[in-house]
Amino acid sequence: MKIIRFTTTDSAPAGFGVVVRNHAVSFAALANKAGKPASNLANSQSYLANLPDTEQDAKELLAWGEQHLDELGQDEKFPLETVRLLEPIEVVALFEFGLTPTHLKNSADTLMKYENDNPANRAVVAGVRQSDHGLQAETGHRSARAVILLQE
């Protein structure tokens, strides 16, 4: 299964879909024709947030598309050579974990700004802050251990 994001000459927002027999087809078009709900396949972020269920939903729509590609209109399927392929996952934020206290604090703040609703990220930020303060108390230096903890 080749999951893609793409644009066509007529589409302003990027389509999120799959390659079906050398055609770019959005999950929205497949779901509409197949009569199946696919709100979790609206974009790559919702796809990732709802794994593993969305993987199964995507595979089912791909299978339907393989069997019914001819039922899709010309505005629902696009030959791959006519679309602009984008990176499959939208970049929401880039995080830099450096070796200085300032880099770590800024990275933790950015992580919480863009991913605050993810409980796993709260644990990472708390660990960085706790490690950084403990390292400074023990050695007078900060941050090297915090970076190592993130890699473990």
Q: Per residue in 91-140, pLDDT tens?
A: 766 655 555 667 767 777 777 777 767 776 667 666 666 655 544 554 45
pTM, full prediction = 0.61
C-beta of residue 110 within 8 angstroms of C-beta of residue 97 = no
In the predicted structure, residue 148 carries a pLDDT above the cut 50:
no
36 sits in the region (left: phi over 0; alpha: psi -120 to 50; else beta) called beta
* Distance in angstroms (rounded) separating the CA atoms of residues 144 and 52: 35
From 49, 57, 75, select the one nearest 18 (Cα to Cα). Answer: 57
Q: Residue 88, preceding bond cis, omega within 30 degrees?
A: no
What are 71's two structure tokens? 């039922």
Residue 86: per-residue pLDDT: 92
Residues 116, 118, 119, 125, CA torsion sign: negative
Q: How far is CA 143 from CA 15, 79, 111, 115, 123, in A?
A: 41, 50, 17, 22, 17
Residue 9: per-residue pLDDT: 84
Q: Per residue in 20-69, pLDDT tens?
A: 999 999 999 999 999 998 899 999 989 999 999 999 999 999 999 999 99
**Average pLDDT of 5-24?**
90
How far separated are the first and last CA of the chain, in Å rounded?
31
Residue 151: per-residue pLDDT: 38
From 102, 109, 147, select the one nearest 125 (Cα to Cα). Answer: 109
Q: Where are the domains of the chain?
A: 3-86, 101-151
* Distance in angstroms (rounded) separating the CA atoms of residues 89 and 47: 10
